[in-house]
Amino acid sequence: MSKPAFLFAHLDEDDLPFLLEVRNECRGMLHDDRVFTLPECQAWLREKKPDYYVVQHRGRRIGYFRLSNHDPAEGSIYVGADLHARFRGRGLAKSAYRAFLRFLKDRYHVRIARLEVLGHNTVAHELYKKLGFMEVDRKKEAALRNGVRVDNIVMERAL
């Protein structure tokens, strides 16, 4: 039996420098664009116990998935991902999302995956459309990036 192309492991403290490297580099595309330090991130992990998964591809960490707003009654969960800059533009995000959505369905027993993307992040928005996510809400001018107000787009897809 062949080894799966993608592995997902719960984020732990040893992963925090990698998480910060990825997150702080791509923060302009995130809803919270602050820069975080390692001590802040360590406190966040201890206090919030976030539901994050590090993504490995062929034995290398390439990024992470974050989960929130799990609603077992509705069978829904919010998902997001960030890839390290070295691994973008190779089709890995699309493949990783497909594998992770299967993982979500099996592990969390959800029927609906939701996400939010800022309107200026056209690359991610197009990726989500290719993955079958559809826009269900748009919060006009919800964030300020480089002096310009951008929309927050809520998308979802059935699993």
Q: What is the pLDDT of residues 14-48, one digit of tens each?
A: 999 999 999 999 888 887 888 999 999 999 999 99
pTM confidence score: 0.92
The pLDDT value given to residue 3? 66
Lowest mean pLDDT, pick from 7-11, 42-46, 103-107, 145-149: 145-149
Query: What's the order of all strands across the beta sheet hosting 76-83?
Result: 6-10, 51-57, 60-71, 76-83, 112-118, 148-158, 134-145
Task: Please report the domains of the chain, with CATH numbers, ordered by start residue.
Answer: 6-158 (3.40.630.30)
Q: What is the pLDDT of residues 88-123, one digit of tens each?
A: 989 899 999 999 999 999 999 999 999 999 998 999
Residue in the block written with tokens 């707003």: 69
